[in-house]
A and B are shown apart, each in its own frame.
Chain A
Amino acid sequence: MLDVKIKNIYLKGRGTLLSETNFSLEPGKIFTILGSNGTGKSTLIKSLTGLLDKKFYSVEGTVIFGKEDIFSLEYPSLLDIRRNKIKYVFQDSINSFDHLKKYAYYFQRIAKDISESDSLLEYFLLPNSKTLFNLYPYEVSGGMAQRISFVLALLSHPQIIILDEPTSGIDSAIANLFLIKLKEFVNNSEQLNSGLKHSALLVTHDIVFAQKISDKIAFISNGMLSPFVDSQIFFEKSNVESWNTYLTAGKALWG
């Protein structure tokens, strides 16, 4: 459902960050990218819908969504995809909001019916719409903003959700909620029957989370993304050296 063939992501003044990055997101599955700090994980996921600042970055390649190449779309169609079809939940979600607009603004432009908003807010142990809509973004904690951002992404019923470090800065218990809801998002049988198919792509350092949630995992290092492999295979018999140092560290910490 998303076919990525990126030849090159180039940062002015620094050179190539990532090259030959090819993968396809299949419906009904959760894809995870692991890798150390500074290897370009966030840059890669931002590049997929053209979110990188063109003043600094240039991206060569194609990202086919439906039948169209996102990189060669006119701005209004690109905006439609970003608004309705491919949604992001960023790491510093609090900065995704204008601090002078109450949450009502964000919910009212996306959600058609208030009961759906309320049931998602309740699910994520957030204040109900009556209370939350009157709050400004600076009045909630970073962890709450992250949950609100996820709720808003779900409310626009996208086909793909992309998450950057969904578990960082939030309590483990709340991270469990993300896990359950994301699995539901890609596996919801009603949606599958009606022909609507969903998938999720995430970037994380949380190896335990990655292991519990992912169908497919790829590892990024030295400017290259490995092919996506089944999660089980990744954790059981990864024979690539860079994966191994990463996983050994992970196992020493959480094993």
Chain B
Amino acid sequence: MNNLIKLENICYSVDGSSDSGSNGSRKIILKDISLELRRGKILGIAGESGSGKTSLAKIIAGINKSYEGNITFNFSEEWKRIRTNPVQILFQNNGEILNPLRKVDSIIEETLIVRHHSKNVEQEKHRIFESLNISEMIMKKKGYELSGGEQQRAALARILAASPELLVLDEPFSAQDPESQLNLLNFFKKVNIEYNITIICIAHNLSILNKLCDEMMILYKGTVVESSSAEELFSNPKHPYTKFLLKAGNYELNYNELSNSNWETEKHS
């Protein structure tokens, strides 16, 4: 078994709506999510807003611990001695993880020292900056001086400096122009192969996931309606909701299809 991560029946709910009189009812965000992901693979998770995809990302990344069910990681031994987290997450508004008043250079250096106990810091730093196309000039800038695209690359550099085994990406492509999206896509593929990092990518754009992922999972209202290899899912989608999403991405829906969208949550796979 070469699973890096295994989720068993993850459930997550929050206090019911803030309306008075809702008497402590629980709102279900995620219901019975199970998945296994092998080391070195890229998994795509797609769904619309409210499907629970960001909640799932936070649970996998260890930020949210108030879930039910089991998560098993199978990290290598060395993590017992290391103070950085083997799971790193890149958020949608990634600029916020950078200290606006520190230079990119020193942010990355610090992470490298914590992670690698000051071995080969200079060399590692240059390797990371090179693979991300971060110039000398950007390295010397402070967090607040960076443009949106530069912020994202700097945030990624910080993540690479932590050399995680699992990288969770939450909507990394949104609000980027096509050229930047393509660069990012190629970069994630490179990280996956060269740095041997397993990736879970959450996005609503199916066609980009198609280009990136080995495995796919479709979330609808907190449940998995379809999961299979990316090849299978895109060439032969089974659940009507998956077909609906694919059609929506191509802007081919008519109004009737749009307004009658209440899907069964029974899983097809």
Contact = CB atoms under 8 A, between A and B. Distances in A.
Interface string B238-269: 00000011001111111100110100000000
B248 A246 contact: no
Interface in B197-224: 204-208, 211
B179 A249 contact: yes
B258 A252 contact: no
Given A212-B251, A253-B185, A253-B211, A205 B245 contact: no
Contacts of A227: none
A179 B85 CA distance: 43
A245 B208 CA distance: 18
A35 to B, nearest CB: 8
A37 B178 contact: no
A171 B181 CA distance: 18
Interface in B122-141: none
A138 B245 CA distance: 28
B249 A172 contact: yes
Interface string A52-66: 000000000000000
A78 interface: no
Interface residues of B, number: 34
Contact of A37 (B180, B254, B259, B261): B180
B253 A173 contact: yes
Q: Give the size category of A's interface with B.
A: 20 to 34
B174 A246 contact: no
A179 B149 CA distance: 28
B208 A246 contact: no
Interface string A176-219: 11011000000000000000000000000101110011000000
Given A141-B49, A173-B244, A208 B179 contact: no
A180 B259 CA distance: 13
Contacts of B178: 205, 207, 246-247, 249-250, 253
B250 A208 contact: yes
Contacts of B204: 171-172
Name the prevailing secondary structure of the A interface residues. Answer: helix
B147 interface: yes
Most buried by A among B179, B180, B261: B179
B251 A37 contact: no
Nearest to A254: B207
A36 B261 contact: no
Given A245-B179, A253-B181, A176 B259 contact: no
A129 interface: no
A246 B251 contact: no
A180 B256 CA distance: 12
Contact of A252 (B175, B176, B182, B206): B182
Contact of B182 (A125, A169, A253): A253
Contacts of A104: none
B55 to A, nearest CB: 14
A213 B174 CA distance: 20
B148 interface: yes
A111 interface: no
A36 B258 CA distance: 31
Contacts of A37: 147-149, 176-177, 180
B48 interface: yes
A168 interface: yes
Contacts of A132: none
B213 to A, nearest CB: 14
A208 B181 contact: no
Contact of A180 (B177, B185, B255): B255
Interface string B154-183: 000000000000000000001111111110
A205 B244 CA distance: 22
A38 B258 contact: no
Nearest to B185: A253
A175 B253 CA distance: 10
Interface in A138-190: 141, 143, 165, 168-173, 175-177, 179-180
17 contacts: A35-B177, A36-B179, A37-B147, A37-B149, A38-B147, A165-B175, A168-B174, A172-B48, A172-B205, A172-B248, A173-B245, A175-B248, A176-B248, A176-B253, A180-B255, A249-B178, A250-B178
Interface of A: 35-38, 125, 141, 143, 165, 168-173, 175-177, 179-180, 205, 207-209, 212-213, 245-247, 249-250, 252-254
